[in-house]
Amino acid sequence: MTEAPGPTSRNKILEVAEARFAQRGYAGVGLREVAEAAGLSKSSLFHHFPSKAALYCSMLDGVLRRLEARLGPALGTEQAPPERLEAGLDELISVLAEQPTTARLLLRTLFEDDDLPEGGLPEADAMNATLARVIGAIHTVIEAGVADGSFRPVSVPHTVQTLVGTCVYHFASGEFGDELLGRPIFSAEAVRARREEVRAFVHFGLARQTDSAPKEKAS
């Protein structure tokens, strides 16, 4: 209903917009640049999208739906909450490692309050709804774990922020200064390391246990 991934002009625009906005942010990208990179003129772009904000929101909505399609199944198995959470974060890490643009766009979305100018346009509502579903899916799993006692009584939103943010950040920053780090920051080993790190957090930092828990929080 929302998308048919044919090589249409609209999809080409969305594809280009995703790459450009991920690289330089909402304010840093002009529509002329997007249109010409997509192979048409700026006027034609406005035939497919009513405004810059609508284009950005439509693009981000598509990215989030892609993410949702991967995270949903992983989080929705019939296993116990810790295993479901671990599987979901594993999948999240896979997606971020495969799609660098997703990581960067997600990071921008999570930490930029006013990246795009507000205004009650319908595309923004749809995008926010998708984002809320994705976040809510993780939220629900952690909440279930807290409810059945497998997780400590942490602040669920804060924990979601910690988990998602840590994953997103690492795959969003490709390099860390040329003279300090010559090679790209993530690779197969980096993905594995991050996976183990998150796994350790879930099973040692978040799970209920007696001592040596590295994390404590007020509710």
Q: Judged by CB under 8 A, does residue 47 bind its own copies?
A: no
Find the binder of its own copies among 47, 51, 157, 209 (CB under 8 A).
Answer: 157
Residue 176, CB-side half-sphere exposure with 13 Å CA sphere: 9
Q: Judged by CB under 7 A, does residue 24 bind DNA?
A: no
Residue 207: beta bridge partners?
151
- CA proximity to 13, closest of 56, 63, 53: 56
Q: Which x/- pattern over 25-54 shows residues binding DNA (rule: CB under 7 A)?
A: ----xxxxx-----xxxxxx-xxx-xxxx-
How many chain residues touch its own copies (CB under 8 A)? Answer: 54
Query: CB under 5 to 8 A by kind: which of DNA, its own copies, none does 125 bind?
Result: none
Query: How far, CA to CA in Å, does 101 sit from each of 139, 140, 152, 178, 195?
Result: 24, 26, 34, 21, 19
Cβ–Cβ contacts within 10 Å for residue 87, how many? 18
Contacts of 101 (CB under 8 A, 6+ apart): 18, 19, 22, 63
Query: CB under 5 to 8 A by kind: which of its own copies, DNA, none does 51 bind?
Result: DNA
Q: Closer to DNA by CB, 33 or 91: give it.
A: 33
Q: Closer to its own copies by CB, 8 or 23: give it.
A: 23
Q: Which x/- pattern over 53-92 shows residues binding its own copies (rule: CB under 8 A)?
A: ----------------------------------------
